[in-house]
Structure 1
Amino acid sequence: MSSERHLTSFVAILACAALASCAQVEDPCKTKSRVVADDKYCDKYWECDNGQSVQYDCPNGLVFAGKHRGVTEGCDYPWRSNYCEYPKVQINPPIGTEHCDWLYGIFGHETSCTRYWTCWNGTATEQLCIGGLLYNENAHSCDWPENVDGCQKHPLCNEDPNGNVPLGKSCNRYWQCQGGYPRLQRCPAMLVFDRRSLRCVVPPTEECDVPTTTAPPPEEEENRPRVQHQSKRPSQGFSEQSRPPPRN
């Protein structure tokens, strides 16, 4: 068994050996999965251990989702589904660390509308919303700015809510602010983006020569903001988080 799981009490083995005091909890030793949810607490579950029914806690901040489900050990974020609907409740209190309200979860950034934190076992990793999106704390994902209360204007458009902003060292792509919301744009064929006039012009400019059909220089890609993806743990949820919902 994983070292991250916490055995709540050895007494649970005796108390529920015959399921006398846990009549509403299905005996995991009689099920195919050998694991069942607790009937009262969504952050606890029962597992068959050497023929005995033993109660375990989900990692702090997660709730039981089912065997082979969720982000780890059958546990998932409580807002992902109806894992913790009334009358079930989370019984374990939050354990907070820097930037993390719980040891596991996704949390808004303290000072930025375009960034957020993914927390895994109390370790926070800063993530970035790309493509002009902002972090929506209600949806736990990056979203269109007009859907994010309290953060309607994007930092890229602070100087001019309807102006243009250079994109890294790109010669033909730029941000176009529309009412404070940035939209990625590309200059028409054979034109380049002029950083002084902030518009598409006939080349050359100080930074850009006549456009070619070759691939963009590496520095252009390097200057594009990226979301950090992790190989397993939070990332299988976080890759989903970086996608905004479809626009109506």
Structure 2
Amino acid sequence: MFGRRWTSVLVILAAINLTSCAQIEDPCKTKARIVADDKYCDKYWECDNGQSVQYDCPNGLVFAGKHRGVTEGCDYPWRSNYCEYPKAQINPPIGTEHCDWLYGIFGHETSCTRYWTCWNGTATEQLCIGGLLYNENAHSCDWPENVDGCQKHPLCNEDPNGNVPLGKSCNRYWQCQGGYPRLQRCPAMLVFDRRSLRCVVPPTEDCDIPTTTAPPPEEEQQDARQGQHQKRPSNDFQEQQQGRTRPRN
């Protein structure tokens, strides 16, 4: 009984507040039946049983629009123009281990090649591959030259612009550029020589003449993943959208 009365009071107050704010469009009169708050980017209004009710986005996210964002119509504040001045986030951050907010992407405390993705306060460690580093401004893996204040990669400690063997591979190797490694492949019919650290005509001490058969599928898949990260850095965050729980204000 008390819960229903309290909900009714909230709905009435919300309706009064909505009426007093001319900037807020009545969501019950819109096709989407949901509108952004006029002052706070982490709040929005939705038509609920014919009444306008205010909701909060999950902690750390801001309203992006119906069927947009990572969950419940809410997204990360740095994407697009979801939270531009004079709008601001009104709800304070709720922090957990490795997470400044319950939802978000945050830099690692001790590593430039790792970062944390936080979902409802649970942190998952992620790794930037292909010689990329985590860029806190872009919230994603990025080319080293775009990341200030990070140490050089340990693979390139001996020679910041040299080549480094890649495991036991005969045709792939790391090429250091300014202290950061990038995956490379020798031209056709050449192999990587571990002594001279360059691509040469086979055979070498470790590699025979390469065959014309296709490489194993797992090697091709690994190369494809490496290539994707080199062409287009990304944050590798799986956007989960199950288990909706919306806090009413």
TM-score range, shorter chain: 0.7 to 0.9
Question: What does residue 193 of structure 1 align with?
Answer: 192
Query: Which structure has the highest helix share of the two?
Result: 2
CA contact (8 A) 2:112 2:151 kept: no
SS at match of 1:12: helix
After TM superposition, give the deviation of residue 143 of structure 1 in Å: 1.5
The worse-fitting range, judged by mean Cα deviation, of 19-28 and 225-234 is 225-234
SS at match of 1:91: coil
Amino acid at match of 1:81: S
Q: Distance in 1 between matches of 2:94 and 2:142?
A: 28
CA contact (8 A) 1:191 1:201 kept: yes
CA contact (8 A) 2:130 2:183 kept: yes
SS at match of 1:203: coil
After TM superposition, give the deviation of residue 38 of structure 1 in Å: 0.9
The worse-fitting range, judged by mean Cα deviation, of 30-39 and 180-189 is 180-189
Matches within 5 A, 1:27-46: 27-46=26-45
Q: Distance in 2 between matches of 1:112 and 1:99?
A: 13
After TM superposition, give the deviation of residue 97 of structure 1 in Å: 1.7
Find out whether 1:233 has 2:240 as its counterpart: yes
State the identity as a percent.
88
Alignment gaps of 5+ in structure 2: 1-5, 230-234, 242-249
Number of corresponding residues: 226
After TM superposition, give the deviation of residue 119 of structure 1 in Å: 1.5
Amino acid at match of 1:141: S
Q: Distance in 2 between matches of 1:172 and 1:164?
A: 12
SS at match of 1:36: strand
Alignment gaps of 5+ in structure 1: 1-8, 235-248
Matches within 5 A, 1:1-248: 10=7, 11-18=9-16, 19-151=18-150, 153-205=152-204, 207-217=206-216, 220=219, 229=236, 232-233=239-240
Relative distance call for 1:24 and 1:171 in structure 2 (3 A) is: same
Q: Distance in 2 between matches of 1:217 and 1:209?
A: 17
Amino acid at match of 1:88: K
Amino acid at match of 2:33: R
Q: Distance in 2 between matches of 1:53 and 1:174?
A: 60
Higher relative contact order structure (alpha carbons within 8 Å, sequence separation ≥ 6): 2
After TM superposition, give the deviation of residue 223 of structure 1 in Å: 7.2
Q: Distance in 2 between matches of 1:216 and 1:149?
A: 38
Relative distance call for 1:221 and 1:159 in structure 2 (3 A) is: farther
Q: Distance in 2 between matches of 1:214 and 1:112?
A: 39
TM-score (norm 1): 0.79
Q: Distance in 2 between matches of 1:217 and 1:170?
A: 12
Task: Give me the CA root mean square deviation.
Answer: 2.6
Q: Distance in 2 between matches of 1:198 and 1:210?
A: 17
CA contact (8 A) 1:191 1:203 kept: yes
TM-score (norm 2): 0.79
CA contact (8 A) 2:14 2:54 kept: no
